[in-house]
Amino acid sequence: MSSWIKCSDRLPEEHKNVIVCLENGWVGAARRMGHEWYRGLFGGSTIMFSVTHWMPLPEPPEDDSHE
């Protein structure tokens, strides 16, 4: 998995789902829209504050059931 990236160093692309870490240690999925962060992967409406770090989502598992 990727390493944490400080928000002060670089921000993810807008509207891209990522994993975030808040100042209080909470970790979860979010997306950035402009200068605000929104919780959830599907355009959640809860604005999040104090996001300090982020990382890309991992790649999904490979589906080997079709072999």
Q: What is the structure's pLDDT at 44?
A: 59
Asked whether the beta carbons of 8 and 60 are under 8 A apart, the reply is no
End-to-end CA distance of the chain: 26
Asked whether the beta carbons of 19 and 67 are under 8 A apart, the reply is no
CA pair distance 63, 31, nearest whole angstrom: 26
Which sequence spans correspond to the domains of the chain?
5-56
Q: What is the structure's pLDDT at 64?
A: 72
Reading the chain (67 residues) residue by residue, the pLDDT tens digits are 579 999 999 999 999 999 999 999 999 999 998 888 988 766 556 777 899 999 999 988 988 766 5
What is the DSSP secondary structure assignment for residue 22, as one 8-state letter?
A: E
Closest CA to 24 of 50, 57, 56, 5: 50
